[in-house]
Structure 1
Amino acid sequence: MQTLLWIAVFLGTFIGMEGMAWFTHKYIMHGFLWKLHKDHHRKDHSHWWERNDLFFIFYAIVSISFFLLWRYDGLWIGLPIGLGILAYGITYFTVHDIFIHQRFKFLRNANNWYARGIRRAHKMHHKHLGKEDGECFGMLLVPFKFFKK
């Protein structure tokens, strides 16, 4: 029973992070912290680091905090939550930074139904250069219309 609960917490955290990413992207990145996110929409810099990358650091700190709660306070749930956030972060980085934005030059040739839909949705999101009028704030779950031909 303990193993099933641990797996449920891990999966729930991973899935919940998509909702958290959507909320953070729509209301924080495109809201009061637009100053950190706008360099991701407007490529007005020549280096690979973006101020937007600070959001990765924030979630890494949250994940590490749950690991520390597990390790030093004996809070068992800290481990599956920390790992769920970490797994989502790795997935987000792989899909968003490597696959979509090609910050590292591999995964270029993925061209299946899901890959095309994710790319289309993200392209529509980046069509808007300002913080208003955006769409498709999620990463792994996007509206079905982007999967149609």
Structure 2
Amino acid sequence: MQTLYWILIFLTAFCIMEFMAWFTHKYIMHGFLWHLHKDHHKKDHDSWFERNDIFFIFYAVISIGFILLWEFAGFWAGLPIGLGIFAYGLSYFLVHDIFIHQRFKWFRNANNWYAKGIRRAHKIHHKHLEKKDSECFGMLFVPFKYFKQS
């Protein structure tokens, strides 16, 4: 039974991270921390790294914190929460940085309905170069209209 709880907590943490990514993107990255995110919309440097990459560190620290709570404080749910956050971060890196933005030249031939839908939604998001008027802040779950067009 504990394995079932572990799996449910892991999946819940993963899904909550999609909401957290949407919320952080819309209200923090396109809000008071725009100065860290704007180079993701309008590249103003020659570096492979972006100031926007700093947001990865924030969620990595939270993930590590939950795993440390499990290890040192006996909080058994800390491990599935921490691993759920980590799994979302890995998914975000694979989908957003590698698949969509091609920071590495992998997954270039993915052309199914889901891949086309998230790619289309992200393209609409990047249509706006400033912090105002952007839309579609999600990453894995985007409005259905972007899939219908595929």
Fold match (TM-score > 0.5):
yes
Task: Give the counterpart letter for 1:102 in structure 2.
Answer: Q
Per the TM alignment, residue 51 of structure 1 is displaced from its structure 2 partner at its CA by: 0.5
Instruction: Report the TM-score when normalising by structure 1.
Output: 0.99
Matched residue, 1:103:
103
SS in 1 for 2:65: helix
Structure-1 separation of matches of 2:97 and 2:140: 13
Aligned CA RMSD, in angstroms, stands at 0.6
Task: Give the counterpart letter for 2:106 in structure 1.
Answer: F
For residues 62-97 of structure 1, what are the alpha-carbon distances to aligned partners after superposition, in whole Å with 9 as ceiling and x for unaligned?
A: 000011100011110100000000000000000000
Matched residue, 1:26:
26
Structure-1 separation of matches of 2:134 and 2:23: 13
| 2:21 pairs with 1:56 | no
**Equivalence map 1:58-137=2 (5 Å):** 58-137=58-137
| 2:12 pairs with 1:5 | no
Matched residue, 2:142:
142
Structure-1 separation of matches of 2:148 and 2:120: 10
Spell out structure 1 runs of 4+ moving beyond 4 A: none
Instruction: Report the TM-score when normalising by structure 2.
Output: 0.98
Which ranges in structure 1 are unaligned for 5 or more consecutive residues? none
Per the TM alignment, residue 44 of structure 1 is displaced from its structure 2 partner at its CA by: 1.3
Structure-2 separation of matches of 1:119 and 1:52: 19
